[in-house]
Amino acid sequence: MANNRTFTMIKPDAVANGHIGAILNDITAGGFKIVAMKYLKLTPEKAGEFYAVHKERGFYGELVSFMSSGPIVAAILEKDNAVEDFRKLIGATNPADAAEGTIRQKYAKSIDANAVHGSDSDENAEIEGNFYFTDAEKF
């Protein structure tokens, strides 16, 4: 994946609370183009695999069980400087620290149920996008 792409998930809390449309609107209004998108529910095994990098962290078990608790929206997004600009659009990990107007400030309730995921590097954006999508599913 080129360095103008990032990967996101609308997490189970935001889906359950009816925020899919509003979040997608913020994403497109923020200048991101949707390259790939699907609506799915992760098994605990797949969620554990996706977050394997956090395996040793105290919050890993909770994170895996939360991310497999309900459906999510997974998407690849395109924009210049996508990784950094998308993390600005979503705000800090803990919504209590997220800047005014960011997606997490508006739609997240807690550090665990924090509405959205955003890749943290170009390398991880490519790995994470390829976890969900084949090349034929990217437009």
**Which residues are marked as active site?**
117
Find out whether 57 is annotated in a ligand binding site.
Answer: no
Structural element, H or E, at residue 84: helix 82-90
Q: How far is the CB of 81 from ligand RTP (least distance, A)?
A: 17
Q: Which does 37 bind (CB under 5 to 8 A by kind): Mg ion, ligand RTP, none?
A: none
Minimum CB separation from ligand RTP for residue 104, in Å?
9
**Residue 131 binds which one of ligand RTP, Mg ion, none, with CB within 5 to 8 A depending on kind?**
none
Residue 109 marked in a binding site: no
| Chain centre to alpha carbon of residue 51 | 12
**Cα distance between residue 54 and residue 51, in whole Å:** 6
Tokens found for residue 138: 């990217």
φ and ψ of 66, to 5 deg: -65, -45
Binding positions for Mg ion, rule: CB under 5 A: 120
5 is in an annotated binding site: no
Measured CA to CA, the distance from residue 43 to residue 24 in angstroms comes to 24
93, interface contact from ligand RTP, Mg ion, none, CB < 5-8 Å by kind: ligand RTP
CB-nearest residue to ligand RTP: 93
The one-character DSSP state at 57 is S
Site residues (CB under 6 A) for ligand RTP? Answer: 59, 63, 93, 111-112, 114, 117-118, 120
Shortest distance in whole angstroms from residue 29 CB to ligand RTP: 20
Q: Which is nearer to ligand RTP, 109 or 138 (CB)?
A: 109
Burial class of 122 by CB neighbour count within 10 A (0 to 12, 13 to 18, 19+): middle
